[in-house]
Structure 1
């Protein structure tokens, strides 16, 4: 039996290098086309228009009702319109130059804007944010100017029986120099913490920009945690304190923090930092709860601060029922002692739409009755960061001049 014969096939030579190159090129082209398609489908949100209007967009194929809630309208919901089978849209503005926080309300559930990577935090609140450029917006923005440093500092507080956390801003050039600086002690409101004035308030960038423009003198800014029952912001608390509520102190609890600021914080700062350690070079400023604490501290220690700023807080308001047994005679005596100490600058500010507006009217009435000189600032807004950031840009240039 003869063996089977198979046809002989001759293969032509193949340039494997060229084949690999063509295959790789095709893969790159396909990847690029795929990425281009993804980018085309990705929503732009928020989109700031040339006239300072803002368009917010959200994809939600199953949602029935979508709203945008932002600080530009005192957190009042604004309906978003379905523009196709999956996309909702709302146009707001034009808005004045500023930073605005916002969230989407999707069928009753609050959510961040998935198209926006810029967020602010304060206490347990996290929100998306949008910056409208212009005079104020540029003051709040990160500009190409010399920057100071913000350091998280853990310090002993014998008054509160704990080691606590604060943020300390040192101005540009502090680390390299030998000079001494004035100090602004900056207090936050209820629900906030030692990070609020940095994340939401933009305090460090406000100071950077004002100092660079020579509108404010270089100063150290100390931002404490005004809640005496917790030692720090939520993510930085020891495990044993991780579930504690820090909705804000009231009554005697607030007094504990105030004593700690005087007995623990100020001595620590004046020992560890190059500061001008006298009343002429100390300022105390706070909003809401921090404005209440500012009043209490400056009233009880009239010779400690020459610069005082009270934001969005009036005459021992109904805030937490903190003064159910208000003693006017004692308060007047404190104010007269404060007048005798001759503060260089006492400032009171409030938004016309703020729920504490009437309490500030009462505070001003008492100050006028006693004869305490003060500068008054009234803005159209409400009890929001839009007011407090603005106030800081206006106050800092007055301090230590």
Structure 2
């Protein structure tokens, strides 16, 4: 399906890319800015991740990406950009590798990112690439930018699930199973998929090489993890913007966040 109006951007919300890693065709949506079809230039890119229970259409249907991005570009608060919204809700759910049959993080970096950056006129450098997402996708934004700080100029986790806050919570989600997951496996997974652990294992220089925008409502049940990451960044003197507004874990909140995300990532795209 194509959503479009004259002199506005376009959204394609049912596109596919073949994945050998996930042994399936993976869906994604893409927003193309208003001048994409009439120009020949290349654009910066924002990878925008959905939350648990949604798919690649979440930011299109509920997040109103077309209206909000068009308005931000028209009023000059955001630069024209391509926005890619992948599906991480079909087969299994989540943005991280889970055993041999759900290597989603490998798919994202080894297949999806190279594919879309060849398929569309996208600038392929760190400075022109950003990542953002809500809830589960906020966790993906934290992890992807911490696992690959060399790839993203900005990261904007919204109402993020930062990962299990304790090893016991991790074991409840990813249990020790004889023959499948050893104690060492579970501990290693916990350390790699928890933003607070990554704050200690990723170098401060790498953390500082990414511009951070963290946003979580005052009534959001995920407030604790986001607050703790903010405190950890303050202690390590990692520059970041930390926003707490009135609201909970809802699309009303995230629709209000999105214009600020577009403004924030555009600062790096514009060589602030």
Summarize the Cα distance change of 1:367–1:170 in structure 2 as closer, same or farther, 3 Å threshold. Answer: same
Match of 1:391 in 2: 257
User: 1:192-231 alignment to 2 at 5 Å?
Assistant: 192-227=54-89, 229-230=90-91
* CA offsets 1:105-128 (integer angstroms, 9 cap, x no match): xxxxxxxxxxxxxxxxxxxxxxxx
Match of 1:336 in 2: 204
1:253 to 77, 98, 118: 98
Note the residue ranges of structure 1 that are not aligned, 5 or more in a row: 1-141, 231-245
Q: Distance in 1 between matches of 2:229 and 2:162?
A: 4
Greater helix percent: which structure? 2
The offset of 1:223, in angstroms, is 0.5
Q: Tell which has more relative contact order, 1 or 2 (C-alpha 8 A, sep 6+).
A: 2
Summarize the Cα distance change of 1:265–1:252 in structure 2 as closer, same or farther, 3 Å threshold. Answer: closer
Match of 2:43 in 1: 181
* CA offsets 1:133-181 (integer angstroms, 9 cap, x no match): xxxxxxxxx9987311112321112221211110111101211210110
Match of 1:28 in 2: none
TM-score normalised per structure 1:
0.56
The offset of 1:256, in angstroms, is 2.3
Structure 1 counterpart SS, 2:16 = strand
CA contact 1:347–1:375 (8 Å) conserved in 2 = yes
**Which stretch shifts more, 313-322 or 169-178?**
313-322
Match of 2:7 in 1: 146
Greater strand percent: which structure? 1
Moved over 6 A (4+): 142-145
Give RMSD over aligned pairs.
Answer: 2.6
User: 1:83-102 alignment to 2 at 5 Å?
Assistant: none
* CA offsets 1:352-379 (integer angstroms, 9 cap, x no match): 0000111111111221222221101111
Note the residue ranges of structure 2 that are not aligned, 5 or more in a row: 175-185
Larger Rg: 1
User: 1:290-301 alignment to 2 at 5 Å?
Assistant: 290-301=137-148
How many matched pairs? 241
TM-score normalised per structure 2:
0.80
Q: Is 1:308 aligned to 2:170, yes or no?
A: no
Q: Distance in 1 between matches of 2:107 and 2:152?
A: 16
1:273 to 120, 133, 141: 120
Q: Distance in 2 between matches of 1:301 and 1:143?
A: 34
